[in-house]
Amino acid sequence: MTTRPANPPLAIAFMLSATAFIAGTMLMAKTLGTDSLGPALHPLQISHGRFLFAFLAICTAVAALRPHFTRPHWGIHIGRTCFGWGGVTLMFASVAYIPLSDATAISFLNPVFGMLLAIPLLGERVGPWRWVAAITALVGTMVLLRPGPETFQIAALLAVGAAVFLGMELIFIKKLADRERPLQILLTNNALGLTIATIAVLPVWIVPTPAQWAALAALGVLMAMAQACFVNAMARADASFITPFSYITLIFATLYDLALFDVVPDAVSIIGAATILTGATLLAWRENGNPG
């Protein structure tokens, strides 16, 4: 088993870098899922492009670094990849229909599910302040769902589904981070993910435009970089501590949406996002030397 000493500051730095890259992948997915660069691509094709180009980027890193690999834990890898592929596909579907900031904020249920699942599956303790923070984030997400007959966004349920899948993926990532080196985890995950995505995309695949090929390549490379930062963060801190910092993705997503699509968050989006960020801030503060 490969273990690393806890290093919360470094873990936070890795996670903050991951958030910028993750928001970038969602931006690329939105351009591909709309008619911005040509005929809208199916979410399964966007997901396939994400795994294809991420796999190529990671293979390039492996060829250059020539790391030593150990025997993979295939069962954990397969579970992680299945949940991860399902999660990103649902997320890519949602961003085509709702604001990028809303989809990102709803996806923040993923750390909440990860925290809850860490109790039985990882044996981590969750004190009262973690519960308060989780409930606060859940309330913010319900605000973003706009649960009224005139305002409810059905597409937002795709983002909720993505959060469930990605929350489960967090558990598998944490298990792998304690057993294998990050580059081995990334290579195995993306190889398995590319296999699943290739089979799934066959019925809906169309020839992308040159601009769409470029966006798919950017999506894959950004995702590979995000994964590398995320796995390194998870290897250096408890899952229930480090995952709330992924909420910073919301800031990047809002800025990207504003810059490229002129989407300005409305009052409901601001209130919901602020509620979620309140929960994240509370959890981070309590965990930084104030567990409970």
* pLDDT for 253 beyond 50: yes
Least confident of 14-18, 63-67, 201-205, 275-279: 275-279
Q: What is the pLDDT of residues 86-138, one digit of tens each?
A: 999 999 999 888 888 888 877 777 767 777 777 777 777 777 877 888 888 88
Would you say residue 43 has pLDDT above 90?
yes
Mean pLDDT across the chain: 84
Local confidence band at 286 (pLDDT 50, 70, 90 cut-offs): low
Identify which of 25-29, 66-70, 202-206, 233-237 has the greatest average pLDDT: 202-206
Q: In this predicted model, what pLDDT tens digit does every residue of 204-245 receive, in sequence order?
A: 999 999 999 999 999 999 988 887 888 788 778 876 677 667
Q: What is the token pair recorded at 153?
A: 């966004």
**What per-residue confidence (pLDDT) applies to 110?**
73
DSSP string, the chain: -------HHHHHHHHHHHHHHHHHHHHHHHHHHTTSSSSPPPHHHHHHHHHHHHHHHHHHHHHHH--------HHHHHHHHHHHHHHHHHHHHHTTTS-HHHHHHHTTHHHHHHHHHHHHHH-----HHHHHHHHHHHHHHHHHH--STTT--TTHHHHHHHHHHHHHHHHHHHHHHTTS-HHHHHHHHHHHHHHHHHHHHTTT--PPPHHHHHHHHHHHHHHHHHHHHHHHHHTTS-HHHHGGGGGGHHHHHHHHHHHHH-PPP-HHHHHHHHHHHHHHHHHHHHHTT---
Q: What is the mean pLDDT of residues 27-38?
A: 92
CB 118 within 8 A of CB 171: yes
pLDDT of 41 over the 90 cut: yes
**Could you tell me the residue ranges of all domains in the chain?**
53-287
Among residues 266, 279, 225, the alpha carbon closest in space to that of 17 is found at: 225
Q: How far apart are CA 262 and CA 254, in angstroms?
A: 10
Q: Which of 84, 5, 20 is nearest to 246 (CA)?
A: 20
Can you tell me the distance from the alpha carbon of 147 to that of 216, in angstroms, rounded to the nearest whole number?
A: 34
In this structure, is the dihedral angle defined by the CA atoms of residues 222, 194, 199 and 84, taken in order, positive or negative? negative
Q: Give CA–CA dist 57/224, Å, rounded.
A: 7
Whether residue 147 has pLDDT greater than 60: yes
**Alpha-carbon span 141 to 160, nearest angstrom:** 9
Look up the pTM and report it: 0.80
Tokens 């990605």 sit on residue:
166
CB of 140 closer than 8 Å to CB of 273: yes
Q: Provide the pLDDT confidence category of residue 291 given band limits of 50, 70 and 90.
A: very low
Angle among Cα 107, 18, 217 to the nearest 5 degrees reads: 90
Low-confidence winner among 25-29, 111-115, 269-273 (lowest mean pLDDT): 111-115
- The model's confidence at residue 50, banded by pLDDT at 50, 70 and 90, is very high
Contact 27, 256 (CB under 8 A): yes
Give residue 76's pLDDT: 92
Residue 239, pLDDT score: 67
Which of 120-134, 196-210, 260-274 has the lowest average pLDDT?
120-134
Count of beta carbons in the 10 Å neighbourhood of residue 10: 16
Record the tokens describing residue 157, joined without a space.
Answer: 């349920």
How far is it, in rounded angstroms, from Cα 215 to Cα 19?
A: 19
**Residue 52 predicted with pLDDT over 60:** yes
